């Protein structure tokens, strides 16, 4: 190799992201966020927050009347319950998982244990009660319980970001923009999840046809959420890139490093560009519900890639000692005239 083709000192610098939290944690964060987001959107819809609700379909299940339209809206806690075992899957000692709640005073992992458990429990009670019992005029206490479950859903969605933020020494995670980004992502993927489930509900029980008005309103809301999420993601990455030692390495890893395919392909294209284009096409050709299903599948995959990418790009702050050594390496290279 000639001297001219030798890599510079800067390119020799190795960016080593954390490898401890991997795809299992990404799935855990994703399902927790999406489940909580879908519950928020579903409960708002149930409260007629969007001026609409699904047509009712009552089935008798073991002699008990079961209202399936509520299941199409409020399935979020089930998804969070499915996601929680992925955290256990990542543990070295899986059978001791129940001890992960012993230090809620300072540990966000322990606090998360309570937040997620509370949300799953409250959400399943709301889902069960509304599915099995029609309440045209719910009592005030029940409404209060629904509000508490909604607050727990918000806490779950934000917690996924706070858990990463609580790890102070990984600069790309240590920003209040991360919980905000995860909340927006939870709401956008959650609303898309509700759109897909209501479409599936409409197709499964075609008597009343597809609830077009509800879907179009939810789609509008979901588009706005995706746009805000995109803006937050851009602000987040730009602010971290400009902060030099405070996250520049992670952003470089994402946009031009080993994770560039995941970032540009998985997060930007699959998570933002394709869904926006497909949704635009669906708005002109609503007779093809397959377009919206494809949009949903891509958007949901993008939400997972977002978490996976941000986890995989977690580079720790460099210690002053390491900086000193790298400075010495640079100086010796300079003295050698390289």
Partner 1 sequence: MQGKVIVVDHEKCTGCRLCEMVCSVFHTGASNPSRSRIKVVKWESEGFYLPTTCQNCEKPFCVEVCPTKACHQDLENQRVIIDKDKCIGCKTCIVACPFGAPSFDHVERVSIKCDYCDGNPQCVFFCDTKAVNYVDSDRVGVSKRREFSLKFSELLRQTR
Q: Please report how close the Cβ of residue 254 comes to partner 1 at its closest, in angstroms.
A: 18
Q: Please report how close the Cβ of residue 156 comes to partner 1 at its closest, in angstroms.
A: 17
Q: Please report how close the Cβ of residue 14 comes to partner 1 at its closest, in angstroms.
A: 9
Consecutive H or E run containing 258 = none
**Which long-range CB contacts under 8 A does 266-273 form with residues at least 24 apart?**
266/301, 266/302, 266/305, 266/308, 266/309, 267/233, 267/302, 267/305, 267/306, 267/309, 270/298, 270/301, 270/302, 270/305, 271/298, 271/299, 271/301, 271/302, 271/303, 271/305, 271/306, 272/226, 272/230, 272/302
Residues 153-192 that bind partner 1 (CB under 8 A): 166-170
Interacting residue with partner 1 among 200, 245, 329, 338 (CB under 8 A): 329
Which stretches within the chain are classed as H helix? 9-12, 23-46, 68-73, 76-90, 108-132, 140-165, 177-204, 212-242, 248-255, 260, 274-284, 289-312, 320-335
Q: Please report how close the Cβ of residue 96 comes to partner 1 at its closest, in angstroms.
A: 5
Nearer to partner 1, 22 or 260 (CB): 22
Nearer to partner 1, 199 or 259 (CB): 259
Residues 4-63 that bind partner 1 (CB under 8 A): 12, 18, 20-21
1 binds partner 1 (CB under 8 A): no
Residues 80-109 that bind partner 1 (CB under 8 A): 90-93, 96-97, 99-103, 106-109
Q: Which residues bind partner 1 (CB under 8 A)?
A: 12, 18, 20-21, 90-93, 96-97, 99-103, 106-110, 113, 166-170, 314, 316-317, 319, 321-322, 325, 328-329, 332
């Amino acid at each position: 190799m000639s001297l001219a083709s030798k890599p510079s000192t800067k390119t020799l610098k190795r960016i080593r992201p954390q490898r401890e939290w991997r795809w299992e944690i990404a799935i855990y964060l994703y399902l927790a966020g999406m489940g909580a987001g879908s519950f928020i959107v579903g409960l708002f819809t149930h409260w007629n927050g969007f001026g609409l609700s699904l047509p009712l379909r009552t089935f008798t299940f073991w002699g008990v009347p079961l209202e399936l339209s509520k299941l199409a809206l409020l399935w979020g806690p089930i998804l969070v319950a499915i996601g929680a075992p992925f955290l256990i899957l990542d543990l070295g000692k899986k059978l001791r998982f129940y001890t992960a709640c012993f230090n809620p005073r300072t540990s966000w992992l322990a606090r998360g244990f309570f937040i997620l458990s509370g949300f799953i429990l409250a959400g399943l009670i709301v889902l069960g009660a509304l599915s099995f019992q029609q309440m045209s005029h719910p009592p005030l206490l029940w409404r209060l319980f629904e509000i508490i479950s909604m607050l727990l859903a918000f806490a779950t969605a934000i917690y996924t970001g706070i858990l990463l933020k609580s790890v102070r020494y990984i600069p790309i995670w240590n920003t209040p923009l991360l919980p905000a980004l995860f909340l927006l992502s939870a709401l956008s993927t959650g609303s898309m999840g509700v759109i897909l489930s209501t479409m599936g509900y409409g197709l499964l029980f075609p008597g009343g046809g597809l609830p077009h008005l509800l879907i179009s309103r939810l789609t509008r809301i979901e588009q706005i959420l995706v746009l805000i999420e995109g803006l937050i993601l851009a602000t987040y990455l730009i602010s971290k890139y400009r902060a030099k030692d405070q996250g520049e390495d992670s952003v470089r890893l994402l946009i031009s490093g080993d994770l560039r395919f995941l970032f540009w392909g998985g997060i930007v294209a699959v998570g933002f560009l394709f869904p926006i284009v497909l949704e635009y096409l669906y708005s002109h050709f609503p007779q093809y519900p397959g377009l919206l299903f494809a949009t949903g599948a891509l958007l949901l995959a993008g939400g997972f890639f977002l978490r996976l990418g941000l986890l995989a790009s977690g580079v720790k702050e460099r210690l002053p000692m390491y900086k000193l050594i790298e400075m010495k390496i640079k100086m010796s290279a300079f003295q050698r005239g390289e």
